[in-house]
Amino acid sequence: MAKVDTDFSSQIDQFDLDAKQQSSLNSLIKLCHEHLDSTDEEMIRRAFKLCCKSHENVTRASGEPYYEHPLEVAKIMAEEFNIDDVSVAAALLHDTVEDTPVTLEQIDELFGPAVKHIIDGLTKISGVFENRDTKQAETFMKLLLSMAEDIRVVLIKFADRVHNMRTIKHLPKQKQLNKATETMELYAPLAHRFGLFRIKNELEDLCFKVIDPNSYRFIGRKLREKKEAREQFIDEFMDPIKEELSTQKFRFEIKGRPKHIYSIYRKMQMQQKPFEEIYDLFAIRIILEDPHTKEDCWRVYSVITDKYTPIPKRFRDFISVPKANGYQSLHTTVITKKGRKVEVQIRTRKMDNIAEQGLAAHWKYKEGNSSGNNELDKFVHWVRDVLDAPRPDAATEFVKDFQLNLYQDEIYVFTPNGELKTLPNGASCIDFAFEIHSEIGERAIAAKVNGKMVPLRQKLKSGDQVEIVTGNKVNLNPDWMGDVVTHKAKARLRQFSKQKERRVANEGRELWEKRASRGKVEITDQELTKVAKRFKFNDAQEMFYEIGTGAFEVNELFKVVKQLKSKGRLDKDEEEFKKDQGAAIPEEYYKSARSVGDGNALLVEGELDHVKYSYANCCNPIPGDNVIGFLSRNGDVKIHRSNCKNAHHLIKTDSERIIDISWARNIENQFLGAIKVVGEDRVGLVNDITEVLSKSLQTNMKSINVNSDGGMFEGIITVYVNDLKHLEKIINKLERIDSIKTVMRYE
């Protein structure tokens, strides 16, 4: 074997390049020195020779020698991704194992395990990309994980497709359409997922040029016609900013590039407007050179807003809260004195590299930077989250999620800045919020679709432009589970529900520990579990949960524990326990309780026939609500709204203790109701709200808690109401106030 490998190595070293090939090699090595931190010239030279030898006498559809394709892919890796020399060598060899007699073992001996691993990954995923064969879920997951473990595999695959699309004109028309459609449906969304925006934009434009050449040429011509006027406007706009930034000793670069052709076309289609009425055709970008920091970006923002009037609702801070793929930048839209809107992006050079190159840039910054490394591994973590899941159907769920997001049944929606988001069909505004960033999903309180306020549960359709309104705290609702379709949203909601249950149980445990401490009673967790099971709980955690919700009185638990401890009878059998425990409710009591009131329902109008009741703080029922009663173990009744989450839990676990409840016709008491108000902030809004409540509705307020952020207003108002109709009347009145967009009952 060694003799064969030695012969192969000698053949490569002795292979003579012609003049054109030698010139191409020299050009590639020069690019590597210009764009890479270090370059192993001997490795690049040997890889290029093997490339030329293995593809010798093979031509492309254009008639050019085949080696020119891997050469151009290698140039893209060096010049545009500028990762390292290993990725350049692998790019030169990316087709050798699949298309020629060269083996992975030979690659390993000539170039080492790193190049071999990349080539192996590229060879394995080729069938996945071309055939989309995802029937064998486990195999597909392993391929993706292998791909994600070395990001260079993904980048070479994209560089390969970019060059194929750049030279697509040499293929027959039908093959052009097939290749362009595949690229638009698969590669562009996947590039977006990896944060490769420059690659995604180029791929979309190249595909659009094939799929709709007339529209492509029309928009391109319009952009060229407007180029001189656009450049003049940019100069006039930036002159005062440049002067001030220079005065403050900033080192910066300013770009004023038009948006790519396909994105302009999407805007025309989405807004149903001609080219002339699309005003945000370009964005001005201010890039701060090293060693400027994110704090300096805010200083530049201050300079810009001193010169021009900002539009508050168009401000986006992706520096404090980066996008999921690591994108960071300040976005603001300002208005000139002539009334023209201009989008300005402010970022550091590092942020710009990440914005343009996505995970490719994270690779460069990962050394000595744990945050960069974390961003690089986001896709790997996405895969591993599923691999590590204990569910037996994890693989199937993963493949389904991947297909929904990349292959089929997709919708294409846009952020306020026109950024494309690909979601599964049936996705809601909640899914969109989580797609932007998990923190946005967690803090979402409302949404705007095509400029109009809508419920977060609203389903989206292709072409929708979506803006998420967020608050300052987590606003998750487990009831959203039926309104989301993405794996990310479902997983977070499941996690939140479990966290909430644990939190309530911990609160119940704290109540017990305080009561036990006051009563000087000591009991082990093992003994508490025995007591819990005597009360028909599955375990102590479930018992603490009911204490936390108020369904089980901690004093009753204390009374029983103290009694059992004093008699030393924690280990007695169940029949003895029933006889002695004071908190036990005889079966006949259930029957008598159910017979109180009108028919088989309790009327809520006082203490009827010695049955005490109270209203659950978790849902605050008011007359007119559909309600149920829950008979606690001490004989009291806790009243919940029938749609209360805690009530649902009680129905599942202790259905025999649920009692029908109806409201009495005449109730003189007042009840607390809470309302959430969301709208556009303005001077005097709070005064208008309080005036409507006090003067128009003669309603007393208990409290009002307001927050204003990014031009949006959010208020939680607690009021005293007579019944549900009174509360609905308040909601209807508040909805008529100018600037108020959404009014809803607050849980």
Token duo for residue 601: 């329902």
Q: CA 300, CA 288: separation in Å to the nearest integer? A: 9
Q: What is the DSSP letter of 81?
A: I
Q: CA 497, CA 443: separation in Å to the nearest integer? A: 15
Strands, E, within 68-197: which ranges? none
Task: Give the closest residue to 181 by CA, choosing from 208, 150, 217.
Answer: 208
How many separate helices (H) and strands (E) can be counted in the chain?
Answer: 32, 20
Q: Would you say how long the chain is, in residues?
A: 747
Cα 250 to its chain centre, rounded Å, is 34
DSSP string, 690-703: HHIIIIIS---EEE
Q: CA 323, CA 317: separation in Å to the nearest integer? A: 10
Task: Give the closest residue to 421 by CA, choosing from 413, 429, 411, 409.
Answer: 413
Q: CA 487, CA 461: separation in Å to the nearest integer? A: 19
Q: CA 282, CA 209: separation in Å to the nearest integer? A: 20
Q: What is the DSSP letter of 15?
A: P
Residue type, 270: M
Torsion angle (degrees, nearest 10) of CA 741, 467, 455, 499: -120
Q: What is the DSSP letter of 655?
A: G
Token duo for residue 340: 């023209």
What are the beta bridge partners of residue 282?
A: 258
98 is catalytic: yes
Is the distance from CB of 409 to CB of 425 less than 8 angstroms? yes
Largest CA distance in the chain: 106
- Coil vs helix vs strand at 628: strand
What contacts 402, CB < 8 A, 6 or more positions away?
Answer: 134, 140, 144
Q: Select which of 18, 34, 41, 99 is catalytic.
A: 99
What contacts 68, CB < 8 A, 6 or more positions away?
Answer: 24, 60
| DSSP H helices in 654-707 | 685-691
609 is catalytic: no
H or E segment and range at residue 293: none
Is the distance from CB of 149 to CB of 380 less than 8 angstroms? yes
Burial 428-437 (b: 16+ CB within 10 A, else e): bbbbbbbbbb
Is the distance from CB of 110 to CB of 12 less than 8 angstroms? yes
Task: Give the closest residue to 263 by CA, choosing from 309, 222, 208, 181.
Answer: 208
Task: Give the closest residue to 115 by CA, choosing from 27, 50, 199, 18.
Answer: 50
Is the distance from CB of 479 to CB of 645 less than 8 angstroms? yes
Torsion angle (degrees, nearest 10) of CA 563, 566, 571, 575: -40
Q: CA 300, CA 511: separation in Å to the nearest integer? A: 52
CA gyration radius for the chain? 33
What contacts 610, CB < 8 A, 6 or more positions away?
Answer: none
Q: Select which of 98, 133, 289, 738 is catalytic.
A: 98
Q: How many CB atoms lie within 10 A of CB 542?
A: 20
Kindly list the catalytic residues. 98-99
